[in-house]
Amino acid sequence: MPRPAELSSLATALDELTHRITGYADAADAEKDEETARELFAIERALNAANRRLTRLATNLSRR
């Protein structure tokens, strides 16, 4: 079973990846590349949701 600290570290890495995706999405939006921006923003939302779940799991495991 993963330890809370390991999950927290993964959440941090996921957060950094999400920020990179957001930067690409913003750039695509500024360049009026709507299809790319739309897909990247959808990926951003999915990564944010995954990060919340991962953080919640790490918190719950640390309370056990």
Cα 7 to Cα 23, 30, 49, 50, 55, distances in angstroms: 24, 34, 15, 12, 7
Mean pLDDT to the nearest integer, 13-32: 98
Give me the pLDDT at residue 2, please: 87
Asked if the model's pLDDT at residue 15 lies above 90, the reply is yes
52-62 per-position pLDDT tens digit: 999 999 999 99
**Taking all residues of the chain, what is their mean pLDDT, rounded to a whole number?**
95
Asked if the model's pLDDT at residue 12 lies above 90, the reply is yes
pTM across the whole model: 0.89
